[in-house]
Chain A
Amino acid sequence: MTRNHVSTTVNGDQVEFLCETQQTLLEALRDELQLTGTKEGCGTGDCGACSVMVDGRLVCSCLMLAVEAEGKAIETIEGMAKGEKLHPLQKKFIEHAALQCGICTPGILIAARSLLTRNPDPTESEVRFWLAGNLCRCTGYHKIIDAVLDAAREMRGA
């Protein structure tokens, strides 16, 4: 079968890749572009480990075909730190020990950043509802929520 040629932007860089029609964006990111920071958890849109931004929208990359990325702007965890400088959310996740195995962390960071972009001062309840689609089987969530709220405070300069 002919492979599809896709031209897209990932973390601000113009990239091109070839993919099968039924390949998901998650598979293309990991297997074609070697951007393995985005994780596969369930593969059915329930766990959020594969969360990425597509044209400014938080989505599960396992629920999107790679060919749909044509002409879109994709943002993944690899674009979150600027060189050696961690994003405030990344710093706070380390400070609060908001991760154990780390599989859910890239997706949670991407989801949390999308919340703070829309709402710089969320309540605890708003953080919990926004992250309802990101499952963590290690931490019990409290440290994750604390880290997001603390990062929000720091980013507001409060």
Chain B
Amino acid sequence: MALLAGGTDLLIQLRSGRADPELVVDIKAIAEMRAIAIDAGGYCVGAGVTCMELIEHEAFARSWPGIVDGAKYIGSIQVKGRATLGGNLCNASPAADGVPSLIAAGALACIAGPQGRREVPVAEFATGPGKTLLAPGELLVSFLLPKREPHSGDAYLRFTPRTEMDIAVVGAAVNLTLDGKGVCSQARVSLGAVAARALLVPEAAAALIGSKVDAAALARLSAAASAACRPIDDKRGTKEFRIKVAGVMAERAALIALERAGRHN
């Protein structure tokens, strides 16, 4: 059995014969999976919400611009009109553009199955390329995002040879919160396409916490991000290139997140 959300991965697998399910179940008529709602002060985003719906949700984009950065990078306008963040996570590509920001945001994946419901950190959801921790009969229902603190900002950047219609060679997401004096009080950093799954990198976050995100902190962030990479060589980039660029992307994403945090009251 295969679950059909946006279908932008599944239909290609059906066409190529990589997937040949006896049954395809379309989940898009399940209201909870299509809703963007406020839950306990934070957002609950249905796993079947399309990238375009998320991009167009102005209040969500103000709270979580880094998650919207990721949604914007996923394919063309046509693909974004169908593709979902839930599908992006379940497809479990190490280079998924939607995932690092969710990890940096501290999002929980809400899963429903025959044994009831459970919530797991998005960082633990993919277990390897194309593999997830979903048990048979389970499905990803929604993402739960924590309540946004004042002076918070997030950002996602990726390196690709061209600006559109490409797959990340390296992706980096930074989510941070500043205190009243502009000191970083909380941070989470995630890297994509540099390991078998998107990584949460606490060492990189630690480089920012307690700093004013100045040049010295950014240099430590960059070094910690590069040190966390366990990439492969492939046609899109070498190991050495990915390791170096991960530090650069993390640093640049941190600067965008910092600027956004300054605007976000």
Seen from chain A, the residues whose Cβ lies within 8 Å of a Cβ on chain B are: 21-22, 24, 43-46, 48, 51, 54, 57-60, 62-65, 67-68, 111, 114, 129-130, 132-134
Q: Is the CB of A63 within 8 A of B165?
A: no
Knowing A57-B52, A68-B26, say if A63 contacts B77 (CB, 8 Å): no
B-side interface residues toward A, CB under 8 Å?
4, 6-8, 11-12, 14-15, 24, 26, 28, 50, 52, 75-79, 81-82, 163-165
- State whether A58 touches B24 (Cβ < 8 A): no
Measured between beta carbons, the chain B residues less than 8 angstroms from A114 are 77
Q: Is the CB of B76 within 8 A of A48?
A: yes
In the complex, chain B residues whose CB is within 8 Å of the CB of A57: 50, 52, 81-82
Contact of B79 among A21, A60, A68, A129 (CB under 8 A): A60
Would you call the interface of chain A mostly helix, strand, loop, or mixed?
A: mixed
Contact count A vs B, C-beta below 8 Å: 74
CB atoms of B26 and A51 under 8 A apart? no
* Given known contacts A21-B24, A45-B79, A57-B81, A133 and B165 CB-to-CB distance under 8 angstroms: yes
Contact indicator B78/A51 (Cβ below 8 Å): yes
**How far apart are the CA atoms of A22 and B2 in the complex, in Å?**
12
With CB as the reference atom, state the residue of chain B lying closest to A129.
B164
Task: Find chain B residues with CB under 8 A from A45 CB.
Answer: 8, 11-12, 75-76, 78-79
Supplied contacts A58-B81, A63-B6, A133-B77, 16 more A-B pairs, CB within 8 Å: A43-B15, A44-B12, A45-B76, A45-B78, A48-B76, A58-B78, A60-B76, A62-B11, A63-B79, A63-B82, A64-B7, A65-B11, A114-B77, A132-B163, A133-B75, A133-B165
